[in-house]
Structure 1
Amino acid sequence: MFSTGSCSLLTPSSYKIKSNYSPSSLSSSFAICSETVPFDDSRRIIHVNDASKRRCECLNLYKELIPYKQAWEWQKSLVQRRYSLIEKEEDSSDTVIVLQHPSVYTLGTGSLEEHMNFDMDNAPFEVYRTERGGEVTYHGPGQIVVYPILNLRHHQMDLHWYLRSLEEVVIRALSSSFSIKASRIEGLTGVWIGNEKIAAIGIRASRWVTYHGLAVNVTANLSPFKHIVPCGIKDKEVTSLKQLLYGTETDTSEVIDSMLIDMAYESLIREFSEVFQVSLDFKFVTDLNL
């Protein structure tokens, strides 16, 4: 999807883990999917509050389908607040928003219509042109999207470092929770399993304040990617965590899908805290006056 770069609407039985992977951290109740496993809500308690680290507000909506335009407006509002504080030479905490989107295509600053395999006047989903870098991508249910609003003055004023750090978050998350070895491909942005992209990254940074971010395919239906050339790369495919673990995009139970989303979220947010050395302070939308 994505690189550096007004958001406008352009158009209305049992399963087995593939033998390639044997995630050591998966519980037996997770790996043996023929049973109905009650969800233990206590698993989602995440302790990443460290007073020695920079504070980062976390808007945790990873179970929610937030319309793309709404999330973009939230980001823009938070960015404008950072600008105001910078002008006053005041500091503020960072913010990270974690959510899912209803099905939508988004175009970056480098997007070409030839990379969309459909009539723009009859698009299968809403299509937005954004100010993020990169090409066309798809967002939808089952994909965890992370939008960091960071003041890089308090991290590193280096966009290359920032992009590599976002990739590192995903690489570590896949390794620590699922024993999946992901990697980078030289000259391309994102996280890859071989020649298949599992995470797309695309950002905007102005006055060293970041927004937009990364998207990880967890249980997402990948068929909408067939209607575009994802990120403008014609010789690469996309994959998902579910496809890697189970060899399928669709045929797993809701229990398994929910647990995959939970585990992926927990791992991503922990690794985000570690990579960027921030202490997460979990908030509601009303807390942030959005």
Structure 2
Amino acid sequence: MGGRPVVQVVRLGLVSYQEALKQQQAYVNLTRSGSAHALLLCQHPPVYTTGIRHKPYPPAQLDRLRLLGADVHRTNRGGLITFHGPGQLVCYPVLNLSSFQKSVRWYVGALEETILSLCSGFGIRASTSPHTGVWVGDNKICAIGIHCGHWVTSHGLALNCNTDLSWFRHIVPCGVPGKGVTSLSAELQRDVGVDETVPHLLHAFRERFCCRLTDGPPPGSGQTDGPPPGSGQTDGPPPGSGQTDGPPPGSGQTDEPPPGSGQTDGPPPGSGQTDGPPPGSGQTDGPPPGSGQHRGE
């Protein structure tokens, strides 16, 4: 007993949204059966996705988005509509929260803290707000929308690296009017791609979730149980530092909600804002086993 949970890092590359859903479901099934947790990293071809926090969008509106050259998919995550495309680092953690902290509010806050740490590493002053996700001023740099059933998570976060932000002009991103979007590249005034960003994400995730990271099986290998212990470690040092280990086991780091974690409760019902828990759910500490909780982008 004891020690840090092991999380497989699975690099899917550029994959369709539908294929990523299939991969997530496969790892959800494995995680529920007791296999290692997984962290799926990928990019998507242009696609608009809608969450469960809204009645179905008018077909004419969806057709207009398809005419732009993007796919459109309805999902079971929280939140409203957002965009995924090349240059955006999409991260789908498939974790059994029983190994971390059985609280959806804690989990969403921990994802936000992970991205705050990443942005800080790049010299970007980011923050959270009552709108779930991570922001630079009034511009969202990272969207978060998750699903949790039987304490196993799916969906996750989308961090704009060098994304073509013009795709967001055709929607109200995550249903928050009057706000904009930004990217690492836009903030730093240089090209910051997904490949450069991944090591920063892995370091921040490992630190915040107090876990060990290992290389998962390559896509299409048919292997989903991950490598034997000790192989292909991706724990590695943080970018640009000599540090080789995460927080010590038993640090208690993952048992404490992040500072200001109450901010992930989302807007009050009826406010018209779309982030946070479903209006009227009254649930902040996670779902009972067997339920399907969603947190919005």
**TM-score, normalised by the number of residues in structure 1:** 0.71
String of CA shifts for 1:192-251, please: whole Å, max 9, x gaps: 0011000000000000000000000000000110111111001110001111111xxxxx
Mapping for residues 244-259 of structure 1, pairs under 5 Å: 244-246=187-189, 256-257=191-192
Find out whether 1:188 has 2:125 as its counterpart. Answer: no
Question: In structure 1, what residue type is equivalent to 2:61?
Answer: D
Question: In structure 2, what residue type is equivalent to 1:59?
Answer: V
Note the C-alpha offset of 1:117: 11
Q: Matched residue of 1:119: which SS?
A: helix
> What number of residue pairs does the alignment pair up?
219
Find out whether 1:263 has 2:196 as its counterpart. Answer: yes
Aligned to 1:72: 21
Aligned to 2:291: none
Note the C-alpha offset of 1:278: 1.2
Q: Do the aligned residues in 2 keep the contact of 1:138 with 1:225 (CA within 8 Å)?
A: yes
Instruction: Decide which of 101, 116, 122 is 1:171's aligned counterpart.
Output: 116
Q: Matched residue of 1:109: which SS?
A: coil
> Are the structure 2 counterparts of residues 212 and 264 from structure 1 closer, same or farther at C-alpha, using a change threshold of 3 Å?
same
Mapping for residues 43-82 of structure 1, pairs under 5 Å: 52-61=3-12, 64-82=13-31
Question: In structure 1, what residue type is equivalent to 2:115?
Answer: V
- Give the Cα separation in 1 of the matches to 2:196 and 2:162: 12
Question: In structure 1, what residue type is equivalent to 2:19?
Answer: Q
- Give the Cα separation in 1 of the matches to 2:175 and 2:59: 12
Q: Do the aligned residues in 1 keep the contact of 2:35 with 2:225 (CA within 8 Å)?
A: no
Find out whether 1:121 has 2:63 as its counterpart. Answer: yes
Mapping for residues 211-226 of structure 1, pairs under 5 Å: 211-226=154-169
RMSD (CA atoms): 2.1
Q: Matched residue of 1:133: which SS?
A: coil
Instruction: Decide which of 102, 105, 120 is 1:157's aligned counterpart.
Output: 102
- Give the Cα separation in 2 of the matches to 1:92 and 1:229: 38
Higher relative contact order (CA 8 A, sep 6+): 1
> Between the two proteins, what is the percent identity of the paired residues?
38
**TM-score, normalised by the number of residues in structure 2:** 0.70
- Which protein has the bigger helix share? 1
- Give the Cα separation in 1 of the matches to 2:183 and 2:55: 25
- Give the Cα separation in 1 of the matches to 2:173 and 2:25: 25
Q: Do the aligned residues in 2 keep the contact of 1:99 with 1:146 (CA within 8 Å)?
A: yes
Note the C-alpha offset of 1:79: 1.1
> Are the structure 2 counterparts of residues 119 and 243 from structure 1 closer, same or farther at C-alpha, using a change threshold of 3 Å?
same
Find out whether 1:97 has 2:46 as its counterpart. Answer: no
- Give the Cα separation in 1 of the matches to 2:195 and 2:18: 24
- Give the Cα separation in 2 of the matches to 1:113 and 1:227: 17
